[in-house]
């Protein structure tokens, strides 16, 4: 078997394991949000959204992207792990002490002193940064089963904790302690499942190398976090916690779909790092982009066609104001997912500066357009600002990508877009002919819509059946060895 074929097979084994983790994350996360939406009020979600935005921003700021640095280092990995772990652990201790002392003045400056205690507790998530280096040791070898045990367990722990406390009437605190349970579980299990024990190491040359590799990625991550979370801040400041709760839930439902794409990238990045051959990378990029488009466009069509029924039936009339933002953000989510594979390609080639350029542009577009559109159109305006930013930064991605590999988005996406347009028209007709305001009716129209989508995809995309059969053969042959991956 050739090296590219071995790489593809091993990557697919990892993808099979990761698919199970992804399915668990999606089902548990999505399902728990539905349950919590019945148990809590919109303002509870709004209060969490504001506090979590501040705490998660601080966590992102303290990252040195050590996880990717560890994956990239194929030879001197022990030194990479030791130094990255040491540095991020020191940053974590400094962060927790600083926020404990300065949390109230910071939150006073942000106009939300009542959220100080939430932030001071949630900022302990910064300690997941150093311990995630341990999971990277498995990812670099494409052993995604063990690497994702902490993630899967943490999702279950957060959901169980939040729902239990919400049922007891703890309100926003149920969401806060659910998050604490999540990152505590991750830290404990990263340590438990990894045999390697990092040493506290202070190697300045290695630190310089890690910063040289990670500085653009860290700056980009901070900017990305800023522009993907500044919307919560703007909505919370200009409107109120109730409107923020509507917007937060609409965004979170779409965010769970993006986690699927993020987990795919967890396989793709180390695989691309090992590939070394542009034809293998191009083939992988084309397939991933095409099938991501097929799936994510179908999800977006379902939300566009049946959004009012999905929200009304599953969450109740109380959450109906979140419908239009839910629909707009589903389009933004599909667009982001489809165009996202420039990330592993460029990073595997050592090209990280284009991410910073795109992040700066987004950081300018979303706050400015979002502020004025929220003033004039509320949470619908903010959702539209997010979609606008996603569209306007796409040319940067395309230009940067074409400089390292030969790709054509038109050739890749032509047929998936045609399928999506026909799917949208057919789903719109189904929605007009069948009453979907009850759960059986909703399940019926969604089933008919998915049947229509799968039929058109098989007819209009000739390679689909061949690729599915090929993927199934490889996954079936890989299944026995995947369990221990």
For 39-67, give the secondary structure using H, E and C. Answer: HCCHHHHHHHHHHHHHHHHHHHHCCCCHH
Predicted confidence (pLDDT) per residue in 383-412, tens digit: 999 999 889 888 887 888 888 778 788 888
Residue 54 lies inside a defined structural domain of this protein: yes
Higher pLDDT, 42 or 215: 42
Q: How far apart are CA 130 and CA 332, in angstroms?
A: 32
Structurally, the chain folds into a number of domains equal to: 1
Across residues 235-252, what is the average pLDDT? 87
Predicted confidence (pLDDT) per residue in 126-136, tens digit: 998 888 877 76
Residue 370 lies inside a defined structural domain of this protein: yes
Least confident of 84-88, 215-219, 259-263: 259-263
- 481: confidence class by pLDDT, cuts 50, 70, 90: very low
- Answer whether 0.75 is exceeded by the pTM: no
Residue 329 burial class via C-beta count within 10 angstroms: exposed 0-12, middle 13-18, buried 19 and up: buried
Q: How far apart are CA 429 and CA 87, in angstroms?
A: 57
Least confident of 106-115, 242-251, 472-481: 472-481
Residues 6 or more apart whose CB falls under 8 angstroms from that of 13 comprise: 142, 475, 478, 481, 482, 485
Least confident of 214-223, 450-459, 468-477: 468-477
Higher pLDDT, 222 or 369: 369
Residue 413: predicted pLDDT: 87
Residue 230: predicted pLDDT: 85
Residue 260: predicted pLDDT: 66
Residue 485 lies inside a defined structural domain of this protein: no
Residue 485: predicted pLDDT: 45
Higher pLDDT, 453 or 268: 453
Predicted confidence (pLDDT) per residue in 319-368, tens digit: 889 999 999 999 999 998 888 777 777 766 667 677 778 878 888 888 99
Q: Could you give the dihedral angle defined by the CA atoms of residues 313, 316, 320 and 324, in that order, rounded to the nearest 10 degrees? A: -40
Give residue 419's domain range: 3-480
């Amino acid at each position: 078997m050739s090296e590219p074929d071995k790489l593809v097979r091993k990557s697919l084994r990892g993808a099979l394991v990761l698919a199970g983790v992804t399915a668990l994350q999606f089902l548990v996360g999505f399902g728990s949000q539905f349950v919590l939406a019945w148990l809590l009020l919109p303002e509870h979600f709004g209060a969490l959204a504001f506090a979590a935005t501040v705490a998660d921003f601080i966590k992102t700021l303290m990252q040195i992207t050590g996880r990717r640095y560890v994956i990239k280092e194929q030879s001197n990995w022990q030194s990479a792990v030791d130094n990255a772990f040491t540095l991020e652990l020191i940053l974590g201790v400094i962060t927790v002490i600083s926020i404990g002392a300065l949390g109230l003045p910071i939150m006073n400056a942000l106009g939300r002193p009542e959220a100080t205690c939430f932030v001071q507790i949630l900022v302990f998530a910064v300690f997941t940064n150093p311990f995630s280096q341990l999971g990277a040791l498995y990812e670099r070898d494409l052993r995604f089963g063990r690497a994702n045990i902490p993630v899967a367990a943490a999702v279950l722990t957060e959901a169980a904790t939040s729902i239990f406390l919400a049922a007891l009437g703890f309100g926003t605190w149920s969401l806060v302690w659910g998050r604490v349970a999540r990152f505590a579980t991750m830290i404990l299990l990263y340590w438990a499942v990894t045999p390697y024990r990092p040493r506290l190491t202070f190697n300045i040359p290695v630190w310089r190398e890690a910063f040289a590799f990670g500085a653009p990625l860290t700056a980009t991550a901070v900017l990305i976090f800023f522009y993907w979370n500044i919307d919560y801040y703007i909505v919370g400041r200009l409107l109120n916690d109730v409107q923020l709760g509507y917007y937060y839930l609409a965004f979170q439902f779409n965010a769970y779909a993006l986690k699927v794409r993020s987990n795919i990238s967890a396989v793709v990045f180390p695989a691309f790092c090992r590939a070394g051959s542009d034809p293998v990378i191009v083939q992988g990029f084309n397939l991933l982009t095409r099938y991501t488009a097929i799936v994510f466009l179908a999800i977006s069509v379902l939300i566009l066609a049946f959004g009012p029924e999905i929200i009304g039936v599953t969450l109740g009339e109380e959450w109906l104001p979140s419908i239009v933002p839910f629909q707009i953000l589903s389009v933004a989510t599909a667009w982001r997912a489809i165009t996202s594979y420039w990330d592993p390609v460029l990073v595997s080639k050592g090209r990280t500066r284009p991410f910073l350029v795109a992040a700066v542009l987004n950081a300018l577009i979303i706050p400015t357009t979002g502020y004025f559109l929220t003033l004039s159109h509320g949470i619908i305006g903010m959702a539209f600002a997010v979609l606008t930013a996603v569209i306007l930064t796409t040319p940067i991605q395309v230009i940067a990508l074409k400089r390292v590999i030969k790709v054509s988005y038109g050739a890749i996406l032509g047929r998936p877009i045609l399928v999506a347009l026909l799917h949208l028209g057919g789903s719109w007709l189904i929605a007009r002919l069948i009453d979907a305001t009850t759960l059986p009716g909703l399940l019926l129209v969604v089933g008919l819509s998915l049947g229509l989508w799968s039929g058109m995809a098989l007819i209009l995309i000739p390679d689909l059946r061949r690729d599915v059969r090929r993927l199934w053969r490889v996954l079936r042959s890989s299944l026995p060895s995947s369990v221990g991956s």
